[in-house]
């Protein structure tokens, strides 16, 4: 069972809780690690006994029996390492998978403002490649700590029983190794975090270059894209080179401190032999234990690179997991009751995080089943006004209400379930037509999907395709025309069947003929629903129940098409400008 994770806890505790989510595999791995450490510790002692007792007394049969038993022990050690490698890595993959699931789930909760400030490629890197190193850390971390710690402590304990003088000399050298390791650890971690940042930037450059390849080719700017990538790649190379310098210093220092231990032991042991306080058997045995002692020290030094990479990845994982969504359900948020469709903007103001005001003291009310059109110059705040309704952004002042309920007092899920949105930039998933329509209501049957397509006037075109509804649409629907993509998105909203509909420049990217064909589908979709329409082509909004002209953060004019024409103000001027442009 997965452990409950408290993100406010210390990083080590959080990491341990993830590992404890794979408790069975972890304990099998640790049991094997304990047996490996025991076998390494037993061999020098058995060798000493054999050289001191069995060989001098010519008990050759017993000697070879003992050696055979040790050979069997090392065969067992090999099998244990097989289990450690297979099950340990499996545990690491499962831990990584749990983290990736939690991270993706958390990212789904983050607000629009987070995605406004972070590049897609960087986020992709953080949820994929940066977590790969955690597999190795999850596996080798506990295993190496257990095996190496027990082997080092066990070897030291036995060496103190053999010759405390030599063990004391070794114990005095050990702090030098520990000091050097700890002093370099933070430098390596900082360098590795920088490598991961630059790797994320390269991923972002690749994602941007691939997704924008058609635009690059259209403008013959392939060389410019290559230069952008080269700059990101150069930064990555620089950070990697700095990391390897730090790593080289660490490894060379560790090589010196572990190598000098053997020299110190042989020198001190030779001195004791000269004084008659030690024999060659004890020196050989002690040397074997020094090798047993040094091997895990070297292993820990080599593991340090994995540790730094994994801990840097884990730090970046926690950084993202601890990012709080700007928009959250209130503690006492309720489900939105069955919606009639009344919408009210009550003294609404809004500014983005940079402090630039977008809307100022907006008052609007839309009766259930009525349609409000928002028109005006680009950048006036029309789209932002729409995005405040489903709480994609939070108002800076005032309130947005649905059927008298402040949208901040109801759950986001229940609010958005009742709102259908059609935008200029239609997003289709790289899946079949059927599944893209079904996205409007995932539990819909095939018959309901087809019924929605018929209402969107796209059914016949779908059936004309070789695979019909099972046709693959390609990345972002690239294999379909703009009109087909838009009508599939309309079918998706038909299937969702919301009470409130937002049409944000839904047809502005289409040619006039295609727009006229889709307009009938939009009128069918809008019938009986409360609607907000954002449009630059004023011919598409003349039949709206009310039109509001948004200029300079405020509502400059309001009324029906006829009333606004009669006022001869901004709206009338926009109409004349478009009619002139079409002549």
Q: Quick one: 432 and 514 in the same domain?
A: yes
Q: Quick one: 265 and 353 in the same domain?
A: no
**What is the domain count for the chain?**
2
pLDDT at 389 over 90: yes
> Coil, strand, or helix at residue 345?
strand
Q: DSSP code of 432? A: B
Q: How high is the pLDDT of residue 538?
A: 80
Q: Quick one: 288 and 405 in the same domain?
A: no
Q: How high is the pLDDT of residue 154?
A: 78
The CA-CA-CA angle for residues 182, 187, 189, to 5°, reads 90
Q: Quick one: 57 and 111 in the same domain?
A: yes
Does some domain include residue 1? no
- Long-range Cβ contacts of 303-308 (<8 Å, 24+ apart): 303/140, 303/141, 303/144, 304/181, 304/185, 304/188, 304/250, 305/188, 305/247, 306/133, 306/136, 306/137, 306/140, 306/141, 307/137, 307/141, 308/185, 308/188, 308/189, 308/191, 308/192
Q: Quick one: 289 and 358 in the same domain?
A: no
Q: Give the tens place of pLDDT for each residue, 239-289.
A: 777 777 777 777 677 667 766 777 777 777 777 778 777 777 777 777 777
CATH number at 222 reads 1.20.1560.10
Neighbours of 323 (CB within 10 A): 15
Q: Which residues of 137-172 are buried (b: 16+ CB within 10 A; e: fewer)?
A: bbbbbbbbbbbbebbbebbeebbeebbeebbebbee
Dist CA 90 CA 156 (whole Å) = 33
- Long-range Cβ contacts of 226-231 (<8 Å, 24+ apart): 229/202, 229/205
Q: Quick one: 270 and 395 in the same domain?
A: no
Dist CA 568 CA 552 (whole Å) = 19
Strand partners, 365: 344
Q: Quick one: 217 and 316 in the same domain?
A: yes
Q: Quick one: 317 and 353 in the same domain?
A: no
Q: How high is the pLDDT of residue 581?
A: 38
Q: Are 268 and 165 in contact (CB under 8 A)?
A: yes
Q: Give the tens place of pLDDT for each residue, 560-575.
A: 999 999 998 888 888 8
The pLDDT of 26-33, averaged and rounded, is: 87
The pLDDT of 168-182, averaged and rounded, is: 72
Q: How high is the pLDDT of residue 513?
A: 63
Q: How high is the pLDDT of residue 219?
A: 55
- Comparing CA positions, the residue from 519, 495, 499, 541 lying closest to residue 389 is 499
Q: Are 339 and 499 in contact (CB under 8 A)?
A: yes
- Comparing CA positions, the residue from 210, 531, 147 lying closest to residue 342 is 531
Last residue of a domain, one of 287, 321, 355: 321
| Residue 329 φ/ψ, nearest 5 degrees | -65, 140
Dist CA 338 CA 571 (whole Å) = 36
Name the band, by pLDDT with cuts 50, 70 and 90, for residue 403: very high
Neighbouring C-alpha atoms within 13 Å toward the C-beta of 300:
23
Last residue of a domain, one of 321, 355, 381: 321
Q: How high is the pLDDT of residue 217?
A: 59
Dist CA 94 CA 22 (whole Å) = 7
Does some domain include residue 534? yes
Q: Give the tens place of pLDDT for each residue, 183-236.
A: 666 677 677 777 777 777 777 777 666 666 655 655 566 777 777 778 777 877
Q: How high is the pLDDT of residue 349?
A: 93
Q: Quick one: 298 and 351 in the same domain?
A: no
Helices vs. strands in the chain: H and E counts, helices first: 19, 10
Percent over 90 (pLDDT), the chain: 11
Name the band, by pLDDT with cuts 50, 70 and 90, for residue 35: confident
| Residue 549 φ/ψ, nearest 5 degrees | -95, 115
Q: Give the tens place of pLDDT for each residue, 497-507.
A: 899 998 887 66
Q: How high is the pLDDT of residue 536?
A: 77
DSSP H/E element including 400: strand 397-402
What mean pLDDT, rounded, does the chain reach? 81
Measured between alpha carbons, how far is residue 581 from residues 550, 574, 575, 577 in Å? Answer: 21, 11, 10, 6
372: left (phi over 0), alpha (psi -120 to 50) or beta: beta
Task: Map tokens 């990555």 to a residue.
Answer: 236
Measured between alpha carbons, how far is residue 414 from residues 337, 407, 409, 419, 437 in Å? Answer: 9, 10, 11, 9, 20
The pLDDT of 400-415, averaged and rounded, is: 92
Q: Are 21 and 98 in contact (CB under 8 A)?
A: yes
- Comparing CA positions, the residue from 380, 345, 379, 395 lying closest to residue 532 is 345
Q: Quick one: 87 and 122 in the same domain?
A: yes
Q: Quick one: 466 and 505 in the same domain?
A: yes
Does some domain include residue 468? yes
- Comparing CA positions, the residue from 115, 261, 137 lying closest to residue 192 is 137
Name the band, by pLDDT with cuts 50, 70 and 90, for residue 448: very high
Does some domain include residue 482? yes
pLDDT at 36 over 90: no
Measured between alpha carbons, how far is residue 35 from residues 65, 84, 155 in Å? Answer: 21, 11, 15
Does some domain include residue 241? yes
Does some domain include residue 454? yes
Last residue of a domain, one of 291, 321, 351: 321
- Comparing CA positions, the residue from 125, 134, 130 lying closest to residue 94 is 134
Q: Give the tens place of pLDDT for each residue, 331-379.
A: 898 998 988 989 999 999 998 777 778 899 999 999 999 999 998 887 7
Does some domain include residue 264? yes
More confident residue, 56 or 13: 13
Q: Give the tens place of pLDDT for each residue, 522-559.
A: 777 788 889 998 887 787 788 889 999 988 788 888 99
**Helices 280-321 and 164-211: crossing angle, nearest 10°?**
30
Does some domain include residue 327? no
Q: Quick one: 362 and 264 in the same domain?
A: no
Dist CA 155 CA 172 (whole Å) = 15
Q: Give the tens place of pLDDT for each residue, 287-334.
A: 777 777 777 777 776 676 677 777 777 888 888 888 888 888 888 989
Q: Are 209 and 223 in contact (CB under 8 A)?
A: no
Q: Could you tell me the residue range of the domain that residue 298 belongs to?
A: 11-321
Alpha carbon dihedral 136, 141, 143, 146, in 10-degree steps, equals 170
Neighbouring C-alpha atoms within 13 Å toward the C-beta of 481:
12
Q: How high is the pLDDT of residue 489?
A: 86
Q: Are 510 and 536 in contact (CB under 8 A)?
A: no
């Amino acid at each position: 069972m997965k452990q409950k994770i408290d993100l406010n806890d210390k990083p080590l505790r959080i990491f341990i809780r993830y590992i404890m989510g794979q408790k069975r595999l972890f304990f099998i791995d640790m049991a094997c690690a304990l047996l490996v450490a025991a076998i390494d510790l037993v061999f020098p002692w058995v060798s000493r006994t054999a050289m001191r007792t069995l060989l001098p007394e010519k008990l050759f049969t017993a000697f070879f029996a003992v050696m055979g038993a040790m050979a069997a022990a090392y065969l067992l050690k090999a099998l244990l390492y097989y289990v450690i490698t297979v099950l340990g890595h499996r545990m690491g993959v499962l831990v990584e998978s749990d983290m990736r699931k939690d991270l993706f789930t958390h990212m789904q909760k983050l607000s629009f403002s987070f995605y406004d400030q972070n590049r897609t490629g960087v986020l992709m890197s953080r949820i994929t490649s940066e977590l790969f190193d955690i597999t190795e850390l999850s596996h080798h971390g506990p295993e190496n700590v257990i095996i190496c710690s027990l082997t080092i402590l066990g070897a030291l304990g036995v060496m103190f029983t053999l010759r405390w003088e030599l063990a004391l000399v070794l114990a005095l050298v050990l702090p030098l190794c520990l000091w050097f390791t700890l002093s370099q650890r933070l430098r390596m971690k900082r360098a590795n975090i920088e490598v991961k940042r630059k790797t994320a930037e390269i991923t972002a450059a690749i994602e941007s270059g691939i997704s924008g390849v058609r635009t690059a080719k259209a403008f013959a700017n392939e060389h410019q894209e290559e230069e952008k990538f080269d700059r990101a790649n150069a930064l990555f190379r620089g950070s990697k080179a700095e990391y390897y310098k730090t790593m080289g210093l660490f490894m060379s220092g560790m090589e010196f401190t572990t190598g000098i231990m053997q020299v110190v032991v042989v020198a001190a042991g030779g001195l004791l032999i000269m004084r008659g306080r030690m024999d060659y058997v004890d020196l050989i045995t002690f040397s074997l234990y020094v090798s047993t002692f040094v091997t895990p020290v070297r292993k820990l030094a080599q593991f340090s690179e994995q540790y730094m990479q994994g801990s840097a990845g884990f730090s970046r994982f926690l950084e993202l997991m601890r990012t709080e969504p700007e928009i959250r359900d209130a503690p006492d948020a309720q489900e939105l009751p069955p919606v009639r469709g009344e919408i009210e903007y009550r003294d609404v103001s809004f500014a983005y995080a940079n402090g630039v005001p977008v809307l100022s003291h907006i008052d609007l009310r839309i009766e259930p089943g009525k349609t409000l059109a928002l028109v005006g110059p680009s950048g006036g705040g029309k789209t932002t006004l729409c995005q405040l309704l489903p709480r994609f952004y939070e108002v800076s002042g005032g309130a947005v209400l649905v059927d008298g309920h402040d949208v901040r007092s109801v759950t986001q899920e229940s609010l958005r379930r009742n709102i259908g949105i059609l935008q200029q930039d239609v997003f289709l998933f790289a899946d079949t037509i059927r599944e893209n329509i079904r996205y409007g209501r995932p539990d819909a049957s095939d018959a309901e999907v087809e019924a929605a397509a018929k209402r969107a006037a796209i059914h016949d075109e779908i059936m004309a395709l070789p695979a019909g509804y099972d046709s693959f649409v390609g990345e972002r629907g690239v294999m379909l025309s703009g009109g087909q993509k838009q009508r599939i998105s309309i079918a998706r909203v038909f299937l969702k069947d919301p009470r409130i509909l937002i049409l944000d420049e839904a047809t502005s990217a289409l040619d006039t003929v295609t727009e006229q064909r889709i307009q009938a589908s939009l009128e069918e979709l809008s019938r009986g629903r409360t609607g907000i329409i954002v449009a630059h082509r004023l011919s598409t909004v003349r039949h709206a129940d009310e039109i509001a002209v948004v200029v300079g953060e405020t509502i400059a004019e309001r009324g029906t098409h006829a009333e606004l024409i009669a006022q001869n103000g901004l709206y009338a001027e926009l109409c004349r400008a478009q009619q002139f442009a079409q002549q």
